Every structure is written in structure tokens, then in C-alpha cells.
Chains A and B, each alone.
Chain A
Amino acid sequence: MTALRRGARRAEPVWDVAFALAGALAIAAVVLRAAGYPPLAVLRGAFGFSLFTAHGITTTLAFATPLIFTGLCFLIGVRAGIFNVGAEGVVMVSAGASVAFGALLALPAPVHLPLTLVVAIAVGVLWMLPSALLKAHRQVHEVLSTIMLNWIAIFLVAFLIAYPLRDRDFPARTVLILPSSRLDPLFPGTSLTVMLAAGILLCLAAYVLLYHTPTGLHLRATGADPAAAHAIGIDVRRLTMLAFLLGGAVAGVAGFTLTAGFPPYWNIDEHMQSLLRMGFLGIVVSAMARNHPLGCVLSAIVVAAVLTSRSYLQLAHGIVYEFAELLAGIVVILLALPGISRDIARWRAKQAARHRALTPSPAGVRGR
């Protein structure tokens, strides 16, 4: 009986998110109706397109893949008590490094791809290092240091794209990553690669790490109450740094995914469009997943589905892009109200308790 109840309680966040999504869609329906579109048809269609058509689901999943990694980056930080928003910058530099390593070095095929991944991860870790050191030794707030490094990353990578990594024949983008370092799509004509499976595995690994290893326990303890953790002998400083560097590593995988793992492009274009906002969206994904690794995949898919549906809105209903963006924004902000269902339940429980207190039981006062 208790196992069932425990299971039900664990599933609560899922219900919360689902409920919030339903609420968000309801509001979106109202906005659509106000703008003169048939709400039910549009929302049904959007949902169906993003998740149940071949093009939609592959796009959604491909879109979700890097978000899983950037989501994990933020999530690991939050669990360790830091607000690590540096995924944006790490994605940039690791993407640049992936292109540099993948395009400028000719290595034999079996080695090239994994090495590129290693390089991306290493660069990600290195880029996070300054923030980690500043936090551990100078108590510099990580939000600030990571945001500054994000910006520096953007300019650095912009320089790389315009000068050293520039394709001499095709200056509007970087050189293409060599075939020996490319990931091919799972289905031709899509951008979906095996990195999705890697993302799922990484989430599982993160879950195991955080919840079933001593290091993970210490990390979470550090996040929950650093003073207490320190008091019982946990090396808070080392664990904080670990959280940063793990986050950097995972975000580095995102950078790899967006270049070597992004068919059929395998490059970065001069506007860096494929890289921008990925870190930012990772924060949304993690927050929506209540910062739990097992929720990351689903959360990433939900966010990706909402964003993919913008295509549907334009293609099927001729809705202007600006309006589609607005709708997506509404849905995302409303996904921030997962507490509503719990509150309703709690309110109901309170009502019931009050009712019971006012209505004496027929058997008289029962001993408590």
C-alpha cells in the first residue's frame, strides 16, 4: 500500500507538468480564438505534428537532443547548489573546438569522431574552469562569471568563424567537418542522430551518480546545505568545482552534438544560429524537470515540441512567425505553474479537514 502511495507521489511532478501544460494550452487556445483561429484544430494539429508525424517527431527529437545536455549542465549545478548558466558559452566554444578538430585535422575514421567528442568535452571543462575557480576560491557568484564568459565565448567563436575556421570557398560558414568525424542521421533527411540515445544514457548516468553514489550524495548535500555539509566533513569546495566541471563536460557534449552531430550541416554558420539559445533553453528544460535527471529527457522533448510546433502553425495555418513565437512564450511561462495542482489538492484537503472537524462523528468522540 505504501509502495503504491510512494509511487503515486513520485509521479506527482509528471502530473503537475502535464496539468500545467494543459492549462497553458487552454490559455493558448483563448489567445488563438481571440486572434481568429480555430483553437482546437490548431492545438490538436500542433501537438499531432510535433509528436506524431514523421517530420515532426524527428525534428522535435533532434531539437531536444542538445537540450538534454544543456539541461543536465544546469541541473547538476542546481543540485550542487550553484546556478550555472554557463552552458551557453560552453556550447559555443566546444562547438568551435569540434569544428576545428573535426575539420582541420585528418585522422583515420574510427578514431576521429570519438576524439572530436573528447576534445569538445575537454574544452567544455576548461571553459568552465575559471568560473569554478572563482567560485571556490573567491566566492564569486557563478551567475556573473558564467554570463561574462558566455559573452566572451560568443565573440571568440565569431572571430574563429570569420578568420581561422572560415571556409575559403564558402566564407559564409566554417569549413565542413570531415566525413571521418561526422555523425550520420538515423533517418535520411533528418538531423536526428545517435546522440539522442547518448542523451538518455547520460541522464541515467547522472541519476545514478546523483542518487546512488556517495559523490552524488555529497553533491546534493552540498547543494542542500553547504554549512551542514562542511560541518560533517564534506569537501564543499572540491564538490562545487566538480559540479562546475561536470556541467562543462556535459555542455561540451551539446557543442559536439550541434556540429559533428548535426547532419546534414556539420558546420557553424556565420550567424551561429544553430548554437544560440541552447544553453538558455537548457535552463528551462531543467527547471521544468524539477531539476531531476530522469525528467530531463521528457522535459526536453516537451520544450522542443512546443518550439517545433511553430513550424506547424506557420505551415498549416499561415500564422505569422511573430504570433507563433508569442504563443510559444505563453506556453513556456505557464509551464511555470506546476504547483497549482498540488495547491488545489491541498486546499481540498484542508476543506475536507475543516468539514470533518465541524461535523461530529456519530460514534462520539474517538480517542486519539
Chain B
Amino acid sequence: MHRIARCVLVGIVAIALWPAPSAGAPQAPAARPISLALLMAAPGRSDLSWSFMHWLGAEQARRTGQVSDLRIVVSTPATALSDMTLVVRDGQFDLIYVASFSTYGTALRDLANRFPDRQYAISDIRPQFGDADPGNRAVLGLLYQQEQPSAMAGALAAALALHYDCPSVGIVLGREIPVLHEFEMGYKWGVDWAIRRLSETNPDVVRNKRLARAARKDRVLWTYTGAFNDPARGREATEAQVRQGACVVYQVAGATGLGVLGYMDDHHRTRNVPIGQPPFAIGVDTVQEWVSPHVVGSALKRADEAVLLAVRLVREGRFREVVQRDRSVWLNFGNRGTWFSDPQLVREWVRRAVEIGALDGSKGGEVLANYGRLREPQPRWVWQLVDDLRGLIEQGRVEIPRPFGDPQRWPIERLRETYG
């Protein structure tokens, strides 16, 4: 190898071996706004659903001045432990929020035991500490009752299917993982509830309708596309379901779900079906009414709210108290951590989106106009039913299966026997 090249190489190596600055950016936290470290799993906010929602919440906190220093770290399983440790050890963050790390409850426990003076929050994981563990008062679990909005999605879907006399409703899901079982079963429960309820309160709309006459296990078409990141599959799955007669399709599939919504648009456009006629879609995670004019509702799982809640608790100094008392906080209809979209929320959401520039003004107006055209032709009893269920859930008067939140009580195998 040429001598000069060798020298260059040695020079580069020498420079490289020079003592490197340490990892982690020590920052003194501001007095009132806090510093937040958000740890996510790859691919981070580009997953468009789970991690993205957390990022949204963190961004919102930063933009409203609640968080002065926001550090986002995306890790892979190989680096997660090290990243977490470094963030905690070298940074002086007021709150360390761990998102999308379903297995790292254990790692976080060990970390919290080593650094119990910090404040940690983790999504979807119930922190497991013994009473003697020093980390006992350090980690807050934020858990979601996603069966609640899914039940409302089911009720809405069933109501619309009864009105338009469709034989079934559908749900298109991503990968078959236990969290999604909770969405799936909530939806099926909601369909069942709606038919039972309407049979009592409004039997005319149920009589002789195909959905009501079908066996319980035949009412909901469910497809696991096997991917959260393949819009094309979402599209194909929806096409298959719509062909089988499903006139409402609930998408629980992240980016794959964009294909579901896209199919709805194409279906309506190429067959000249006006807005307000089936097939409809129901969105998930965020308000998705703006994505397609055929989205009759969205099951909201407000991971962004979870982040804001944790930030609020830290700022108000109530963090330790809540951890000590409850260990975990459930995000549900009670605190709007999960929710189902209603017209007021949709309008508010569009207004805010236009305000921050995410949606331009004319598009915002168009979205709201389409939303009106979507809701207007539907009979009032449909919306009444949905609101009834909302009230019942808020008051805790219905019991929806929770195979993820309470797996010992609601094993998936038994639920499948009942609902399919």
C-alpha cells in the first residue's frame, strides 16, 4: 500500500483516538419548565403511530413552554440499555419517558433501582417493583384502556351496518400481538352491545336486518395484515372485506391503516359513491377524519396525552405521590387518555391543525365541509347510540373485555369462543 496513504490513515487513526467528549449533554433544568428525555424504539417517530404519538405529545409540551429541554433518543434493543443508562446518568432530566419499549420494564426497573432519585414514566408497562426496591417511587406506568374507544367503534359500525343493511362490519389490524387483541375484542363487544341494546330500545331498526340475523361470530370480519408498515396490504385487506359485504372497516394498523383509508377514497371515487354513503372507515390513534372524508369516527389512544400528563405531574410536584399511591395511571375515558372522536373534537382538532400550520386553511375548510356531509345523512339514533355508550363507559357501567390490560381475567382463548 502506498506510503502516503498509510501515513494518512495513521493520522486519521491518531486523531480518532484522541480523547473524545463524553456522551450525554449535561443540562441544568429550568426552574418551572422541565427537561424531558423521550426514549423510543427504532424507527422512532417515523412509525407514524405509537412512537409518533409520544413525539407529538413531547413536541406539544415543548411548544407550550412546559418543557424547555427535549431530548429524543431512538434506540434498538441492543443499545437501549446503554442509552437509557447514559441518559439517566449523564443528563439531568426531570422526566425520563420510555415509549414503545414493551420488554424493557425489567431494564427500567434495574435502572430505577440504581438511580431512584429520578422520575421515570413508561407506556403500556405496569412497573413491577417489590416494596423494598429503591426504585419503588420512581417509575410511573401509563396504561391505556383501548378497549373503550374500540367498543364505541364497534357500536358505531354496527349501527351504520344495521341502517344500511350490510351483512357484516370489518376490522383490519396490523400484526397479531396481544395489544391488538384488545382492540379487536373491544370492537366485537361493541358490535354485540349495539345489537342487544337496540333490540331493547329501538327494535324496528334491528328487525330483519342481516347483521342482526347473522350469528355473533359471523358479524365481524377480521384480518391481521401482519404488518404495521405496509399500506398496500391494508388496501388489499379492506378490498377483500368490502367485497364480502363489510360496510364499515375499523383500521387498527398504523401505517398499514393508511391503505385502508386510501382504499375508501378510491372506492368512492371510482364508483361515484357520494360522501355519506357506505363503505365507511373508522380511524385509530389520532383524529383521522382529516385523512379521508369517509372516516366516520376515530378511536383515540392519546399517547401524546400520556406524555403531557406525566409532564404535568412532574411540574406540579405530584409525581412521587401518584407513583406511591397508584403505581400506574390508566388512560381512559375518565381522563380523556383514550377517547372516541365527536364533532366538537374534530372541529377543534382541525382548527388547531390550521393554526399551527399542519393543515392549510382551505384544506381545513374542505375537511369540515366533508365531515358535515358525512354525518348529515345518518339517522339520529346512530349518533344517539354512540353517545349512550360513551356515557355508560364514562360512568363505568359496562364491562368490556381486556385481554391486554387484565389478561388473567380475560384470556384471549376464552374470548374467541364467545366472539370469534
Contacts and interface: CB of A to CB of B under 8 A. Distances in A.
Asked if the two chains touch in their complex, CB atoms less than 8 Å apart, one says yes
A270 interface: yes
Interface stretch (A44-52, A134-142, A215-223): A44-52
Contact of B82 (A190, A262, A264, A267): A190
A144 to B, nearest CB: 20
Contacts of A48: 16-21
Contacts of A47: 16-17, 20
B177 interface: yes
Interface string A238-282: 000000000000000000000000101101111101100000000
Contact of B5 (A19, A162, A262): A19
B163 interface: no
A270 B46 contact: no
Contact of B73 (A166, A315, A341): A315
Interface in A59-91: 59, 62-63
Nearest to B6: A15
Interface in A293-312: 304, 307-308, 310-312
Contacts of B106: 264-265
A329 interface: no
B195 to A, nearest CB: 28
B72 A321 contact: yes
A239 to B, nearest CB: 34
Interface in B84-115: 85-87, 90-91, 102-107, 110, 114
Interface string B50-94: 000000000000000000000111111111011101110011000
Contacts of A262: 77
A312 B5 contact: no
A168 interface: yes
A233 to B, nearest CB: 41
Given A19-B5, A172-B125, A273-B41, A189 B103 contact: no
B407 A265 contact: no
A40 interface: yes
B178 A56 contact: no
A41 B82 contact: no
A321 B81 contact: no
Contact of B23 (A190, A264, A316): A316
B157 to A, nearest CB: 24
A172 B73 contact: no
B44 interface: yes
Interface string A20-56: 0010010000000000000011011111110011011
B404 interface: yes
Sorting the interface of chain A by its residue count into under 10, 10 to 19, 20 to 34 or 35 or more gives 35 or more
A344 B86 contact: no
A55 B5 CA distance: 33
B12 A265 contact: no
A56 B102 contact: no
Contacts of A317: 25
Contacts of B110: 189, 264
A317 B21 CA distance: 11
B23 A44 contact: no
Interface string B300-334: 00000000000000000000000000000000000
Contacts of B354: none
B2 A322 contact: no
Given A162-B176, A189-B114, A191-B81, A312 B9 contact: no
B379 interface: no
A44 B83 CA distance: 19
B1 A345 contact: yes
A237 interface: no
A191 B17 CA distance: 25
Contacts of A15: 1, 6, 9
Contacts of B104: 265
Given A55-B82, A170-B407, A314-B73, 8 more contacts: A19-B5, A56-B23, A172-B103, A172-B404, A190-B82, A264-B107, A307-B78, A315-B25
11 contacts: A47-B16, A47-B17, A49-B20, A59-B78, A264-B106, A269-B103, A311-B73, A311-B79, A311-B83, A314-B71, A345-B1
Interface of A: 12, 15, 18-19, 22, 25, 40-41, 43-49, 52-53, 55-56, 58-59, 62-63, 155, 158-159, 161-163, 166, 168-173, 189-191, 262, 264-265, 267-271, 273-274, 304, 307-308, 310-312, 314-318, 320-322, 341-342, 344-345, 348
Interface of B: 1-2, 5-6, 8-9, 12-13, 15-25, 41-44, 46, 71-79, 81-83, 85-87, 90-91, 102-107, 110, 114, 124-126, 175-179, 181, 226, 403-404, 407-408, 411-412
